[in-house]
Amino acid sequence: MTPASPHLQHYAKALLAGAALATVAVNLAPSLYYDIIEWHPFDSDPLYKLRLFWPGFTPATLVSSLLMPVFVLLIGKEIWEALLQDHGGLRGKLALAPVAMVLGGMVSSALVWLALTAWLETAEEAVDAIGWVMPFGSDMVLAFFFGRMIFGKGHAALQVLLFMCILDGVLGLLISGFSAPINGNLRALWLLVPFCAAAFGYFRLTRPLQNPRVTERDRQRAGRLWPWLILGAFSWIAMSASGLPPALAFLPLLPAMPYGNHSFGLFAEAEGLLNDPLNRLSHALMRPVIVILFLLGLTRGAMDLGAFGPTTWIMLGALWLGKPLGILVAAWGMRVVGHPLPNRLTLREIGYIAGLMAIGFTLPLLALETALPGGAMQEAARLGLGLSLTMGPALVLLSRYGLPLSRNR
């Protein structure tokens, strides 16, 4: 495995910078801040009927609906290759333990959310909410940022951490989308469009590249990216219209796109040397995603310090207690049945991974609008997501002064 791309560090810094600016703005001038991010430049009723940029075209929905699908495509591409490529680091049985730990963390965090909601929540509107999906999205960007401080550059645990965080986030978006679709109504027939677009792309663009007798001219023609951009536009419109999170819009195209036959590791720097369409697209998106994550922090990451409420405690309990507990129980269960932990990691290293996955921010912010009632409850949950970031520095200090890790890797 080659070292991960330095862009991951830039992603974390951009996200934190955007969220910090937004937090200062919302606490000092909340009216001005909300007027800017909720500004409607034109009448978006025609878009509303198709649930595009729901609930209206604003700077905030522009980022979450149109730009964040690019980020999800980027992380989805990494997990797709790790699972399916011949030399993927988590192909076949290698994925069993990480997947089990992710599912364990999701189930445990949901149960803790429900238990704490029954104990602490007093708002009547919380009864029918599906807030239990909120802790599902571990923050891959920030977990890696702090994980690199704990494990060191190139440590085998970082690849496992990236895989688990991405899987947790994508599954969380899927579950929240089906549990609480946009406007409370799932239009499942629209989902045929992304899969038809993927089928068209495979048979007309990808399959010709697999023919050993194809000419170089036809190979160049079939490897162009612009047809995939058109198919992506159809997929995005249909995903939004169906009621699922628009952030998932480009994922159905991943299985259809041509990709390399060798894996260097998740977000490996060496992938920039590959020339297949999927890696070329990924390489072209690396720098724009820095701006996208800054804008996400700026438009969705504002933490109102006066919004502290029961939902804040519920969010922190589900993330800090439920998720690590479920991951560790699953890891212990794998050891009991004799299945090795991924990359020969120790239980202490898995413990740090479990703690880092208790950081929830980027993808849960996208699920917030439909998973919880608007107003005070959403702002309290957003504050809980923001406070969960403090787990990162706490684990860094613990690794240096409390429970250090062996550096002999």
Q: Domain residues of the chain, as ranges? A: 7-401
d(CA 276, CA 208) in angstroms, rounded, equals 14
For 264, what's the count of Cα atoms within 13 Å in the CB-facing half-sphere? 16
273 burial (CB, 10 Å; 0-12 / 13-18 / 19+) is exposed
- Sign of torsion over alpha carbons 103, 109, 115, 118: negative
Q: Is 231 or 368 the better-scoring residue by pLDDT?
A: 231
In 3D space, the residue among 81, 82, 247, 76 whose CA is nearest the CA of residue 173 turns out to be 247
Tokens of 265: 């590791």
pLDDT interval class at 5 (50, 70, 90) = low
Residue length of the chain: 409
379 burial (CB, 10 Å; 0-12 / 13-18 / 19+) is buried
Tokens of 359: 């950081």
pLDDT of 206 reads 82
Report the SS3 class of residue 403: coil
Give yes or no for a contact between 241 and 190, defined as CB atoms under 8 angstroms apart: yes
Q: Is residue 158 over pLDDT 60?
A: yes
Lowest mean pLDDT among 123-132, 179-188, 318-327: 123-132
**Cα→Cα distances 225→195, 232, 258, 286, 347, Å:** 18, 11, 11, 16, 44
Give yes or no for a contact between 388 and 316, defined as CB atoms under 8 angstroms apart: yes
pLDDT of 385 reads 95
pLDDT of 259 reads 72
Q: Is 118 or 91 the better-scoring residue by pLDDT?
A: 118
Global pTM value: 0.91
- Sign of torsion over alpha carbons 244, 18, 391, 286: positive
d(CA 134, CA 110) in angstroms, rounded, equals 8
User: Mean pLDDT score of the chain, rounded to an integer?
Assistant: 87
Beta bridge partners of 4: 268
% of the chain residues with pLDDT over 70: 86
pLDDT interval class at 191 (50, 70, 90) = very high
Q: Is residue 374 over pLDDT 90?
A: no
pLDDT interval class at 269 (50, 70, 90) = low
pLDDT of 66 reads 95
Q: Is residue 108 over pLDDT 60?
A: yes
Domain 7-401 has CATH 1.10.150.130: no
**Cα→Cα distances 61→188, 240, 246, 275, 317, Å:** 22, 12, 10, 33, 29
Q: Is residue 228 over pLDDT 60?
A: yes
SS3 percent helix, strand, coil of the chain, rounded to 5, is 75, 0, 25
d(CA 317, CA 95) in angstroms, rounded, equals 28
Determine if residue 265 is left, alpha or beta; phi over 0 gives left, psi from -120 to 50 gives alpha, anything else beta.
Answer: left
Q: Is residue 2 over pLDDT 70?
A: no
